[in-house]
Amino acid sequence: MKDMSFAALMDRRNEIMKQAVGINYEEFARGRFAFAYEEMMQKVGYTLDEIRAIQRETDVGQTPLWEMKNLTRLVRKLAPAGKGARIFIKDEAANPSGSFKARRASVSVYRAKKQGYKGVVSATSGNYGAAVASQAVKRNMKCIVVQEVFDSKGDGQPEILEKGRKCEAYGAEVLQLTVGPELFYTFLRVLEETKFFNASLYTPFGIAGVETLGYEVATEIKGKEGRFPDKVLITHAGGGNLTGTARGLKKAGAEDTEIVGVSVDLTGLHSASDHDFNRKSFTTGHTGFGVPFTTWPDRADVPRNAARSLRYIDRYLTVTQGQVFYATEALAQIEGLERGPAGNTSLAAAIALAQEMDRDEILVVQETEYTGAGKHPTAQLTFAREKGIDVRRGDPHEEKPGENIIIPRGPGDLFYKEMDLDKLRKTYLKALQKNHPGPYSEEEKEFLTEELGVDQEKLEKLLNSN
């Protein structure tokens, strides 16, 4: 019998992960911390054409691209003369499981089947579990979803419970846990005991699956308008959505399209805190994931995270919870599209940002997600009130995460805050310098320029400022 204590299982985690993913990450290591990122993506991944073929087999991708004409008209009423960009939305809710994460899951489940695994395991409280479960059905594989649901009082957020219901609807076995280290421990134990494939969000397979989304956005806009979009807004959490979409845009030739990440501002709330867990109304697309995964991506459940957002991001914006609920209602009541909250994080920022852009410019919100009873603003806001959160209309600038949710009084109240990317880069380097003190070799510096999206001169300034 193996020792199944927490400490023993953590000691075996690299061995378990290697068996469950089938990637020898050490092959790509280059010295103390650098690694061959592009070599990893190319050697263990698939080409864009191969991924498109894989996704066609299970009805993933080729989702509709809609122009939001009513929202654009509204934006132009609010904007200065000559301003008000056209807003488009890529309707990822049309995927089999109802979100863009079907793209990530499609390649992972295909890989698992091809490598002879009998089933797949996913650790997620979100749409990805449903995507993995849906794709497992299509490939005739077993699926286990390990889901972080409850606080210590046994209360679960309606959105997370809805996602668990959806996983079960596809026949997955769902293990529902309390917030904290129990999730990773249980995940590792399930992988070791079942010998199933780790359908991680952060493998090269998962990230490459999202490249088709960016590629479709670029080529479809160019087909309709004769040029690439000016900006693409991407809801940002663990970085896979942004990384995959950006890589796909670049593979389509949209090198000058601005990549804009957007997160819900949950400053002050800790995602792994039992107290804070149910004092937030968003389970993904928020700064509790977006900031730490940007500043240290290898906190993931694989040795090397293939989602590396600082390599691709041009701007990082935040919006408030109340604004996202407002944007969700606006999309339904102005455009006749009822969709879930994740993509509407970017939509809230898009309504504000489009007012600053010229009328002939094009802005794309690159995803929507399905909605359901637990995802609806009514369920979420009712749960927030039950937890003592003050929900009211007013000025969203006054919102304080964990204390209140302020619904804008009108579209003119929508705004965004700009995150300082250099501050995030410095945070990355501070952690690096603590674990791997300088000086750094030329190879290490070359890796860091790519990793942080800067040139050599900028890197030296960032290193000297810490």
Query: What are the pLDDT digits (tens) for 125-161?
Result: 779 999 999 999 999 999 999 999 999 999 999 999 9
Q: Which helix (H) or strand (E) holds 259?
A: strand 258-264
Q: For Cα atoms 428, 344, 158, give the angle at the middle one, nearest 5 degrees.
A: 95
Confirm if 136 and 109 have CB atoms less than 8 A apart: yes
> Is residue 172 located within the same domain as residue 269?
no
> Is residue 310 located within the same domain as residue 458?
no
> Is residue 244 located within the same domain as residue 170?
no
| Structure confidence at residue 284 (pLDDT) | 86
pLDDT at 461 over 90: yes
To the nearest 10 degrees (0 to 180), the angle between helices 158-169 and 377-386 is 130
| Structure confidence at residue 17 (pLDDT) | 87
Q: Considering the domain boundaries, does residue 72 fall inside one?
A: yes
> Is residue 83 located within the same domain as residue 103?
no
> Is residue 183 located within the same domain as residue 255?
no
Q: Considering the domain boundaries, does residue 447 fall inside one?
A: yes
> Is residue 224 located within the same domain as residue 287?
yes
Query: What are the pLDDT digits (tens) for 363-411?
Result: 999 999 999 888 999 999 999 999 999 999 999 999 999 999 999 999 9
Answer with the one of 164, 186, 204 that is the final residue of a domain. Answer: 204
Query: What are the pLDDT digits (tens) for 311-348?
Result: 999 999 999 999 999 999 999 999 999 999 888 999 99
Answer with the one of 187, 204, 221 that is the final residue of a domain. Answer: 204
Q: What is the mean pLDDT of residues 343-354?
A: 97
> Is residue 243 located within the same domain as residue 328?
yes
Q: Is 98 left (phi over 0), alpha (psi -120 to 50) or beta?
A: left
Which residues are within 8 A (CB) of 354 and not within 5 positions of it... i.e. 6 or more apart?
72, 75, 79, 84, 85, 86, 87, 363
* Residue-number span of the structural domain to which 302 is assigned: 60-95+207-418
| Structure confidence at residue 457 (pLDDT) | 96
Q: Considering the domain boundaries, does residue 12 fall inside one?
A: no
pLDDT at 458 over 80: yes
Specify the higher pLDDT residue, 280 or 180. 280
> Is residue 199 located within the same domain as residue 227?
no
Query: What are the pLDDT digits (tens) for 187-236?
Result: 999 999 999 999 999 999 999 999 999 999 999 999 999 999 999 999 99
> Residue written as tokens 């209309």?
393
> Is residue 394 located within the same domain as residue 457?
no
> Is residue 77 located within the same domain as residue 134?
no
| Structure confidence at residue 301 (pLDDT) | 83
> Is residue 239 located within the same domain as residue 317?
yes
What predicted TM-score, i.e. pTM, was given to this entire model? Answer: 0.96
What CATH number is given to the structural domain containing 243? 3.40.50.1100
Q: Considering the domain boundaries, does residue 423 fall inside one?
A: no
pLDDT at 423 over 80: yes
> Is residue 25 located within the same domain as residue 119?
yes
